[in-house]
């Protein structure tokens, strides 16, 4: 095995043009880690936000390699690992929000940040799942405790997180309302949405009332509007970092809850997601697949905000 690999790196913050293909040292698995030969890597808003701001949660600055979503094959295991063996096919969201370096041919990370790849998905499809699906799962299930018969409102329902949240909420037995442009309504009905609102032509806060849970991946002004859709005792879950505009006091006065949630690596959550996928109750929509060397193009496309589902980088053909 070569001691080097190809990866996408950046030496400075900036636009997509700072991303470049380099040859670098291949990582080695440490204690409790596995080395994964990456077949595909998902692209997420967190990636281009980090690229342009240049700061990870631990304060790390360039040069670095972006990416967290991984699907691939275990190449080697570190000291003490019993969960996987070389040759196992896995997927995961390693190390988030610390650097993982998924835009590369190999990734080394804790074994329990991965799970077996769903048997009915390709590596490209599986790479589009971990960060977005875990975000939806942890928001709706772990944070909001969405129950059968409750009403859930999912903003940006055709997006990477949104289209998975619609399906997870439906699998939980909820009545699911999504916001999206009218052109995407048929697609979302096919994913299980019970009711859809075109946010461009209707005031969502007026059109949707008495819901138990709102999942808001947008933030900003939508936070306060989302509160108006909640019943007393309901929960707003934001996956956008809170600012001074985050309506904690306003929520309390209205008798509802407003919380910010940061997704975490989650072996058990991935297994639950795999069960939904393998039972046919959850599918990931892959909008665009590009080779690793075209990561900059993937970022340009993602930043337009017009994709339906996920963008994925193919690393190993």
One-character DSSP codes across the chain: --SEEEEEEBSS-SSGGG-EEEEEEPP---TTEEEEEEEEEEE-HHHHHHHHH---TT---SSB-----EEEEEEEE-TT--S--TT-EEEE-TTTTS----SBSEEEEEGGGEEEPPTTS-HHHHHTSHHHHHHHHIIIIIIT---TT-EEEESSTTSTTHHHHHHHHHHTT-EEEEE--GGGHHHHHHTT-SEEE-TTTS-HHHH--SEEEEEESS-TTHHHHHHTTEEEEEEEEE-SPP-TT--HHHHHHHT-EEEE------HHHHHHHHHHHHTTS----EEEEEEGGGHHHHHHHHHTT--SSEEEEE---
- Structural domain boundaries, residue 228: 132-260
Q: Does one domain contain both 201 and 300?
A: no
- CB count in 10 Å sphere of residue 52: 14
Is 278 inside any structural domain?
no
pLDDT of residue 245: 84
Is 210 inside any structural domain?
yes
Is 273 inside any structural domain?
no
Mean of pLDDT over the chain: 94
Residues near 203 by beta carbon (within 8 Å), at least 6 away in sequence: none
Stretches in the chain below the pLDDT threshold 70: 1, 55-60, 317
Q: Does one domain contain both 142 and 252?
A: yes
pLDDT of residue 48: 93
Is 268 inside any structural domain?
no
Residues near 173 by beta carbon (within 8 Å), at least 6 away in sequence: 147, 148, 149
Q: Does one domain contain both 41 and 79?
A: yes
Is 274 inside any structural domain?
no
Q: Does one domain contain both 170 and 249?
A: yes
Domain holding 103: CATH number? 3.90.180.10
Cα distance between residue 269 and residue 247, in whole Å: 29
Cα distance between residue 117 and residue 109, in whole Å: 16
Cα distance between residue 28 and residue 17, in whole Å: 29
Is 272 inside any structural domain?
no
Is 276 inside any structural domain?
no
Q: Does one domain contain both 228 and 252?
A: yes
pLDDT of residue 80: 98
Cα distance between residue 297 and residue 156, in whole Å: 23
pLDDT of residue 317: 64
Say how many domains are in the chain. Answer: 2
Is 267 inside any structural domain?
no
Q: Does one domain contain both 243 and 194?
A: yes
Helices 130-137 and 162-171: crossing angle, nearest 10°?
50
Mark which of 244, 260, 276 sits at the end of a domain.
260
Q: Does one domain contain both 79 and 144?
A: no
Domain holding 237: CATH number? 3.40.50.720
Report yes or no: 226 and 248 within 8 Å, Cβ to Cβ: no
């Amino acid at each position: 095995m070569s001691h080097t690999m190809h990866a996408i790196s950046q030496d400075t913050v900036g636009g997509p043009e700072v991303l470049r293909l380099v040859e670098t040292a291949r990582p080695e698995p440490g204690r409790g880690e596995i080395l994964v030969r990456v077949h595909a890597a998902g692209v997420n808003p967190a990636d281009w936000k980090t690229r342009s701001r240049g700061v990870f949660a631990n304060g790390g600055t360039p040069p670095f390699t972006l990416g967290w979503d991984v699907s691939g094959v275990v190449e080697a295991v570190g000291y003490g690992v019993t969960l996987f063996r070389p040759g196992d096919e896995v997927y995961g969201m390693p190390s988030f929000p610390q650097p993982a370096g998924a835009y590369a041919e190999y990734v080394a990370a804790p074994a329990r940040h991965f799970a077996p790849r769903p048997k009915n998905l390709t590596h490209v499809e599986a790479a589009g799942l971990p960060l977005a699906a875990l975000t939806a799962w942890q928001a709706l299930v772990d944070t909001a405790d969405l129950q059968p018969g409750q009403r859930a409102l999912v903003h940006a329902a055709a997006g990477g997180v949104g289209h998975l949240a619609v399906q997870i909420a439906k699998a939980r037995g909820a009545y699911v309302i999504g916001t999206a442009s009218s052109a995407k309504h048929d697609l979302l009905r096919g994913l299980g949405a019970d009711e859809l609102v075109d946010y461009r032509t209707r005031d969502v806060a007026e059109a949707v009332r008495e819901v138990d849970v709102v999942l808001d991946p947008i933030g900003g002004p939508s936070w306060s509007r989302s509160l108006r859709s909640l019943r007393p005792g309901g929960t707003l879950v934001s996956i956008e970092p809170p600012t001074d505009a985050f309506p904690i006091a306003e929520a309390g006065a209205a008798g509802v809850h407003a919380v910010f949630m940061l997704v975490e690596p989650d072996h058990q959550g991935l297994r639950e997601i795999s069960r939904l996928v393998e039972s046919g109750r959850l599918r990931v929509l892959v909008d665009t697949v590009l080779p690793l060397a075209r990561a900059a193009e993937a970022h340009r496309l993602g930043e337009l905000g017009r994709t339906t589902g996920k963008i994925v980088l193919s690393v190993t053909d």
